[in-house]
Amino acid sequence: MEIWINPACSKCRSAISLLDAEGAEYTVRRYLEDVPSEDEIRAVLERLGLEPWDITRTQEAEAKELGLKEWARDADTRDRWIAALAEHPRLIQRPIITADDGTALVARSEDAVREALAHDKA
C-alpha cells in the first residue's frame, strides 16, 4: 500500500498514525517533493473511480490563481485538469491511499483509512 501525504496536513498525520497503530505495511510518498506525473495521476484516478476535479483542492491559492472554479468539468478539459494537478501538486486532495488489491481512496477520515486497510488485506 502507498499513501500520498503532505506532512504538514493533519489528516495525513492522522492516517499515518492509524496505519501505524494497525501495523500496516505501507510506503509514504511525499507528493509535493516526489510529484506524480500526469500518467500516475491518471492511473490513480482510474483506481479511485473519480475525475481530476473530484480530487482538486479548489480553495488553495494556486487554484484561485488558475481560475479552476471556472474550468469546465468534462471530457474535453480532463487533460487540462490533470496537467494542472501535475504542475501544482498542492492542489491534489490528500491523503490518497492505493491498496495492493488495485483500489484507491481519498482517506480523509478514519473510516476511509480502515476501508483501505480492509482492501489491503483482501
The CA distance from 110 to 122, in Å, is: 19
Reading the chain (122 residues) residue by residue, the pLDDT tens digits are: 999 999 999 999 999 999 999 999 999 999 999 999 999 999 999 999 999 999 999 999 999 999 999 999 999 999 999 999 999 999 999 999 998 888 899 999 999 999 888 887 76
Task: Determine whether 12 is an active site residue.
Answer: no
- pTM of the entire predicted model: 0.93
- Which pLDDT does position 87 carry in this prediction? 97
- Which pLDDT does position 119 carry in this prediction? 81
- Which pLDDT does position 88 carry in this prediction? 97
Q: 32: which residues sit within 8 A by CB, 6+ positions away? A: 6, 89, 90
- Which pLDDT does position 86 carry in this prediction? 98
Q: Which residue among 9, 18, 32, 48 is the active-site one?
A: 9
The CA distance from 53 to 57, in Å, is: 8
- Which pLDDT does position 11 carry in this prediction? 95
**Three cell numbers written together for 105:** 481512496
